Structures are given as C-alpha cells and as structure tokens.
Amino acid sequence: MPSTATIADIARHAGVGTATVDRVLNRRPGVNVEMVQRVLQVVAAFGVPPLRGRPRMGKNFRFAFVLPTEVSPFVDLVERQIAQSAGDFRHQHITELTYRFPTGDGVKFAAGLAKLTDCQGVVVMAPDLPPVKLAINQLVRAGVHVVTLFSDVAGSMRETHVGADSRAAGRTAGLLLSKMGTSMGTSLSNSLSNGAGLNPRDTLLLTSQATRLSAEIERRIGFAQVLEERAPQLRMLRLPDMPSDDAGAARALTRFLKKEIDPARVAGIYNVGAGSVGLARALERAELTQQIALVAHDLSDAHRALLSSGGLAYVLTQDIHYCVNAAARVLRALCENVRGALNVVQPRVEILTAENLH
C-alpha cells in the first residue's frame, strides 16, 4: 500500500463513501460498528494517518474559486474580493485560481467543474442542477474538498456551505415591506372612508430573473412565507423572468406598471437578484420613488449611490470579505485534517439604509 493515503483511498479500499470515512476519522456519530471497524482496519493497513484531500503538489495549496459567467454586480464584487484577498492567501500558503462558468447551462458548468481535480479544494457558487451535483460528488470522491459559497447545492457531497441564510434574507425583506404596506394601506383606507376616493396600497411586487441559484429561490420562498404568516391582508404579485440587465429590467417594470396594475396600489418591490438599478430608474421616471419602496441585495457602488439618493429604501447584504476568506480557511483546515474544520460562523443578513450607510 502507499505510504500516504487520502480519504478517497481509504474509502475505496474499505468499500464505503468518503463521508463515512470522514465521520469515522473525526469520531462523529452516524456510522454502524461494522463500518467503523472496516475503515479502521484499512487505516491500520496503510500504517500512517491519512491525508485529507490530495497530497500537496508544491509549496502551496491550490484552491479554485468557481463563479457564474453571467453579468452580475454581485459576482463582480466577489471576484474583486478574491483578487484583493490574494495577499492573505499567500500568507496561508494558498494559491487561488478563479474560474467563471455559465450557470444557464448546467452541463457546461458541470464539465468545467469536473476538470478541477488538480486542486486540493474548490469553492463554488453554482446552480442547483443535477449535472452540477454529480460533478461536485465526482470531485469529492477524487479527494478534492468542496465548499459552496453564497448559494448552496443541497443534496451534493459538498462538505459545508458559507453564506448568509437566504430564506431569512427573503423573510427580512417581507417583514420590512409588509410593515410599510400595512401602514400605507391603513392610512389610505382612512382617506377612503373619509371620502378621499383613494385606493389602499395593498400590493407588493416580487421581481426575479429565471434562476437556478438556490439562494435566489430561497429568498423568494422566505418573502412569500412571511407575507402569508404576518400580512395576509397584502397581495403579492410576482414578476418572473425579469431581464438581468438594468435597461431590460427598467423596460419590464415600466410596462407592468402601465398595463398590469394600478401603481397607486403598489407599496413596495422586492428584487431578489440583478437589475435593481434599472428598477429604480423606472420608478424615478414614473415619479414613484417616494410612493413605492424598493428593496435590493448587495452593496455595490451603484446601490450605495441609490441608497444615499433615496432610490432604494433598503439594501440587504452580507460580508463578502468574511465569506471568501472563511471558505478558504475551511478548505485549508480540511486539507490539514484539523478537528472542527467545518464549524463555520455564518454571516448575518445586514439591513442598510441611507442613515446607517458607511
């Protein structure tokens, strides 16, 4: 047998999965006695402690960061943060490689992902699609550690996820806008009862692009949940398949407000993905910025300017710097077989307004 062994080597000789080997080596529950003995016998036969992941091929660990190719201010922020963290990575003996694959084509994304077997670890923001899950599982079986970033791929063999709770983010947006809609609706209902002839603002719009990112799907679910639970008097209308570019989003919202709904009934808009600058532009052109609150995600330079000017009511964000560096630290700890490597403190969802913007 070889003088060194990876988790994949142990799993192959023991006839079990790598997750089972990981549990046995870290003395975690969930493995029956027979399998524990089988794994320990293989470890004893190797004669040395197993190496987590692939053996280091040089001075540094090689970690790949995989992001979507689609145009997105948020993904651009993440890529910029990875580049800015290069100095920190070097001090941790990490060489980072950044790749961008198309999320709209799960097969191409998976094919690109599957080629990264020369890395000890992969951090990936991926669409939640069957080919991608298979590619992640293939990497893990080959001894490559995989961590999902910002958007999870549930059901895969990835070892952990780093990122804020997306469903909680959607619920937060729902709570903020439902209170706004309720107060506006009450005020205008009183005006109605006094003969003012105004309709209450009883509608919230949910805008999103066609997406396979589980984070954006979870945001939509959380938003709908909190409205159903806490504000059943409000109506939610969803504008699916919104264009991701700002110009397209502006045209789509303008058309919807003209043809599909009376803008006087809309209290707020929650946009789960890209295109928020275009939505704000459409509201400004229709002179509805003061009447309709817009909630978006992620603190880009454009969103910072819109918060300051009142074009956005709230921005929900998370600490990108922390997430990128936490993912790299987890991979390094896994490669070095550090106990508790998967104990990650997840970032909180932060609510930014014009008043607490730094």
Q: For 101-147, write each residue's pLDDT tens digit.
A: 998 899 999 999 999 999 999 999 999 999 999 999 999 999 999 99
Per residue in 9-50, pLDDT tens?
788 888 887 777 777 776 666 678 788 888 888 888 876 555
Of 318, 309, 242, residue with least CA distance to 77? 318
* Mean pLDDT, residues 73-88: 93
Q: What are phi and psi of 14, to 5 degrees?
A: -85, -15
pTM of the shown model? 0.80
153 touches 126 (CB < 8 A): yes
More reliable by pLDDT, 180 or 176: 176
Q: What are phi and psi of 111, to 5 degrees?
A: -65, -40
Q: Give the pLDDT of residue 185.
A: 47
pLDDT at residue 237 tops 60: yes
End-to-end CA distance of the chain: 58
Q: Give the pLDDT of residue 195.
A: 44
Q: Which helix (H) or strand (E) holds 278?
A: helix 276-285
Minimum mean pLDDT among 90-94, 181-185, 235-239: which range? 181-185
Q: What are phi and psi of 192, to 5 degrees?
A: -60, -45
Minimum mean pLDDT among 3-17, 94-108, 262-276, 295-309: which range? 3-17
Calpha distance 137→143 (Å, rounded)? 10
The overall average pLDDT reported for the chain is 88
Residue 52: which pLDDT band, with cuts at 50, 70 and 90? low
Cα 43–24–114 angle (5° rounding)?
A: 85
pLDDT at residue 189 tops 50: no
Q: What's the token pair of residue 235?
A: 């109506």
Q: Give the pLDDT of residue 235.
A: 95
pLDDT at residue 51 tops 70: no
Q: What are phi and psi of 210, to 5 degrees?
A: -65, 120
pLDDT at residue 54 tops 60: no
Sorted by where each starts, the structural domains of the chain and their CATH numbers stand as 7-46 (no CATH), 61-163+320-347 (3.40.50.2300), 166-317 (3.40.50.2300)
